[in-house]
């Protein structure tokens, strides 16, 4: 289908990482429909990220946590009323229809728009979509590939590339202030994963051991995270004197810190996806979660037995064992808390990760050598 659209709505009410993964789809829509108004309905944290995306014209915010009780019905009613007034030509729903509550919410939101064209993934429960895209389950495609497939149904091309974000000068200046004592090139280690699926956590002591290797190789280390993740940053800070930015960066400043890094290392989480969206060399560690589904943008999947090819810049490192992944498999959420053993992740030894980090640093250039990144679409 290819027609002229004047008002487009993309629905992705998700946390940081999942919102990052729809950025290529937004870029594809902007290139296909340069004169159209493209709006994004997202979560509060998704809105912080979307403010850096030049491909979005208006950000609409809906917090799922605010939809409880009578006040939640009022919030939902106001959102639906606002969507109806916008008169969208087409709506793109970038969610799997996994849970009954999710299906009910997305069906209501799309019905409120009264749009003649609604596109989204269909696992057999998407009868309300005018243009359903077959959902083959989590991991049949990467999440960002599913999103691109959805916008292709409107006539957009999936041939897009990043960086996908514009970093404000004020954020760059604040990042420079926070990094005033840091020598270049530096490596960012992000040891946290957020509140959902804590089974993704890799050992903080392992991160500290990797940091020692990096410092010995001549790199300064910067640790990022929320204020709640300060305890996980402490072993790294104490091991190598890393600059600890936990609780000190909102998303724009965090993006500026990542954008100047020689390498970003962490478990599967939103910050790792943000680094990949900024086209920075990235080493992501995967265990219980589905690496085939949630690998970072433009990444290569590697295992201890099958290392990435020479020149790889963004690597998703995992172990292939029979019980992994156990979170988001097929059409089920699975076990976000994993198991007690978590050998899929904890058996990724720190020496293996350190060697892979040094290989990535050797194969890639620092931002200064790369030249100034373009932030324009």
Domain chopping of the chain, boundaries: 7-152, 169-370
Contact between residue 55 and residue 38 where contact means Cβ atoms under 8 Å apart: yes
pLDDT of residue 267: 95
pLDDT of residue 374: 35
CA end-to-end distance (rounded Å), the chain:
24
pLDDT band at 59 (very low <50, low <70, confident <90, very high): very high
Contact between residue 226 and residue 242 where contact means Cβ atoms under 8 Å apart: no
Residues 6+ apart with CB under 8 A from 219: 185, 186, 187, 262, 361
Q: How far apart are CA 108 and CA 96, in angstroms?
A: 15
- Architecture of the 7-152 domain: 3-Layer(aba) Sandwich (3.40)
What's the pLDDT tens digit per position in 241-267?
A: 999 999 999 999 999 999 999 999 999
Describe the chain by its helix, strand, coil percentages, rounded to 5.
40, 20, 40
pTM: 0.92
What's the pLDDT tens digit per position in 343-356?
A: 888 889 999 999 99
Mean pLDDT of 288-300: 94
pLDDT of residue 371: 41
CATH number of 169-370: 3.40.50.2000
Cis status, amide bond into 3, omega within 30 of 0? no
Check if 7-152 and 169-370 are the same fold: yes
Contact between residue 219 and residue 211 where contact means Cβ atoms under 8 Å apart: no
pLDDT band at 365 (very low <50, low <70, confident <90, very high): low
What one-character-per-residue DSSP string does 217-247 give? TT-EEEE---GGGHHHHHHHHHHH--EE-TT
- Helix 23-32 to helix 143-152 angle (10° resolution) is 20
More confidently predicted of 346 and 159: 159
Q: How far apart are CA 331 and CA 98, in angstroms?
A: 6
> Minimal CA–CA distance to 83: which of 106, 102, 64, 110?
110
Contact between residue 236 and residue 37 where contact means Cβ atoms under 8 Å apart: no
pLDDT of residue 373: 37
Q: Which token pair is 343?
A: 């050998």
Mean pLDDT across the chain, nearest whole number?
A: 92
Check pLDDT > 80 for residue 277.
Answer: yes
Mean pLDDT of 190-200: 84
């Amino acid at each position: 289908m290819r027609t002229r659209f004047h008002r487009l709505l993309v629905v992705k009410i998700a946390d940081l990482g999942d919102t990052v993964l729809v950025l290529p789809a937004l870029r594809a829509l902007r290139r296909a429909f340069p004169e159209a108004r493209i709006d994004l309905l997202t979560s509060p944290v998704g809105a912080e990220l979307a403010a850096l995306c030049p491909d979005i014209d208006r950000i609409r915010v809906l917090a799922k946590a605010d939809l409880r009780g009578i006040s939640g019905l009022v919030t939902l009613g106001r959102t639906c009323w606002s969507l109806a007034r916008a008169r969208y030509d087409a709506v793109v729903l970038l969610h799997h229809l996994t849970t009954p509550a999710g299906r009910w919410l997305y069906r209501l939101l799309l019905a409120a728009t009264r749009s003649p064209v609604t596109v989204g993934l269909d696992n057999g429960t998407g009868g309300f979509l005018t243009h359903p895209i077959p959902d083959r389950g989590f991991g049949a495609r990467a999440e960002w590939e599913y999103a691109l497939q959805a916008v292709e149904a409107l006539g957009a091309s999936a041939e897009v590339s990043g960086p996908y974000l514009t970093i404000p000068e004020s954020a760059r200046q604040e990042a420079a202030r926070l990094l005033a004592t840091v020598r270049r090139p530096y490596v960012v280690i992000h040891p946290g994963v957020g509140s959902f699926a804590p089974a993704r956590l890799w050992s903080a002591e392992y991160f500290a051991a990797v940091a020692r290797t990096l410092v010995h190789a001549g790199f300064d280390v910067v640790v990022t995270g929320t204020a709640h993740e300060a305890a996980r940053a402490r072993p790294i800070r104490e091991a190598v004197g890393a600059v600890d930015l936990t609780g000190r960066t909102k998303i724009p400043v965090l993006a500026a810190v990542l954008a100047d890094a020689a390498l970003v290392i962490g478990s599967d989480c939103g910050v790792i996806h943000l680094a990949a969206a900024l086209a920075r060399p990235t080493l992501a560690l995967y265990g219980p979660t589905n690496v085939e589904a949630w690998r970072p943008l433009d990444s290569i999947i590697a295992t201890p037995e099958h290392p990435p090819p020479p020149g790889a810049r963004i690597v998703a490192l995992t172990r292939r064992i029979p019980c992994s992944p156990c979170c988001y498999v097929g059409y089920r959420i699975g076990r976000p808390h994993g198991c007690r053993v978590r050998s899929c992740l904890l058996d990724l030894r720190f020496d293996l990760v350190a060697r892979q980090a040094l290989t990535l640093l050797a194969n890639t250039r620092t931002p200064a050598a790369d030249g100034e990144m373009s932030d324009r679409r």
